[in-house]
Amino acid sequence: MKLSLTTQIAISLVLAVIAGVLLQGHPEIADSYIKPLGLIFLNLLKFIVVPLVLFSIMSGILSMNDISKVGRLGIRALIYFTLTTIFAVTLGLCVSTLIKDFLPLISLDVAPSPEQTTDNNLTFMDQIVNMFPQNIIEPLGSMAMMQVIIMAVLFGVAIVHVREKGEPVKQLILSLNEVVSKVLNYIMAMAPIGVFCMLTPVVVENGPGVLSSYAALIVLAYSCFFLHALCVYSPLVWFLGGISPWKFFKGMQSAMLFAFSSDSSVATLPYSMKCTEQLGVRKDIGSFVLSLGATINMDGVAIYLGATAVFMAACCGMDLTLNQYFAIAFSATIASIGTPGIPGGSLALMAMVFASANIPVEYVAIAAGIDRIIDMGRTVMSVTGDASCAIVMQKLTKQN
């Protein structure tokens, strides 16, 4: 029986803790013979980030070509998803910043990117100017992720606007996106080895106490999920959707439980549609909004990317500037919309978010050890957010 990638990573996490404890008296073994294999995994992850972001964002824009035909409902749903995602990443950033000094942090001897010192001296307007590329090649080679995102958006929108003449380019982009996703699958097959080889030296340096840092990150993420549901979804379904939060969450209970266990918002769609219908949402509205949300609405991912970025920055002793917070918020919002629906997709986009704020990408391998545990909560957030949008859209449609 072949073990799933999630199970393999979980096993590698346990083995890394055991190996780290056994090698605490011999750190040179971990640094000289184990860590290099982890660096190979990280190099491959960095290698795939730029093409993944470039083609996934462009493909996402191209796939929304038909959304313009659905009129007012589609526009309202897109606005709703965008605003809740912005609030989600802001919540993750704020909560993690407020409590980071009280959390047990992982100690890693990894220096921030060389660009960090330069970025700290830039004004806010300088940061805005630097978002826009001067040429098409440099951002791809230097992993200037904000510029890559701008390029992807510009080319994606342009291909949609030229219609039939852009069809060959559209098909090429969609094909390249599939190829890049397959390459990412190959790289993620190495994730168990990469996680083991990167985490073992960390345990050698920090001891088993590293587990307390993992527990802190898990509690931080789930606390943010709870606050987002309480402070965003509850008032939205109450004031804009016309039903009480208690009725909403009780009605969505079966879908939320299935989302938590299946770890897939797409697989949860039938349950979500059934639950929203029982809450009074028309089938055509629910089908459209929930299907759209399962593709582009990932509030849980936005929260986790924001919170993890601040947490990992604190681990390497970085004091994030306002410009870096802005970079994290922007890139995490875009990343949550373009999260690939494949195992490990969120880890690749986490590398993008870290790179945008000059946080060492090496920390992605550390976060991978508990990604599956947090991913269950992320999926529940995404499903709940989609359903809240369906409730609100139903109410707004009645008023027209």
Q: How far apart are the C-alpha atoms of 40 and 259, rounded to whole Å?
A: 34
Whole-number pLDDT of residue 67:
52
Instruction: Report which secondary-structure segment, H or E, holds 318.
Output: none
- CATH number of the domain that residue 225 is part of: 1.10.3860
Q: How far apart are the C-alpha atoms of 310 and 94, rounded to whole Å?
A: 9
Q: How far apart are the C-alpha atoms of 155 and 136, rounded to whole Å?
A: 11
Q: What is the DSSP string of 136-148?
A: SSHHHHHT-HHHH
Q: 3-state SS string over 58-90?
A: HHHHHHHHHHHHHCHHHHHHHHHHHHHHHHHHH
3-state helix, strand, coil in the chain (%, to 5): 80, 0, 20
Who's near 365: CB < 8 A, 6+ residues apart? 38, 41, 42, 45, 194, 195, 198, 199
CA-based angle 320:142:329, to the nearest 5? 35
Whole-number pLDDT of residue 258:
83
Number of domains the chain is built from: 1
Q: How far apart are the C-alpha atoms of 202 and 31, rounded to whole Å?
A: 10
Which residues of the chain fall below pLDDT 50? Answer: 69, 115-118, 120, 341-343
Can you give the residue range of the structural domain that contains 290?
A: 5-399
Whole-number pLDDT of residue 337:
67
Whole-number pLDDT of residue 344:
53
CB 43 within 8 A of CB 227: no
Q: How far apart are the C-alpha atoms of 161 and 32, rounded to whole Å?
A: 53
Look up the pTM and report it. Answer: 0.74
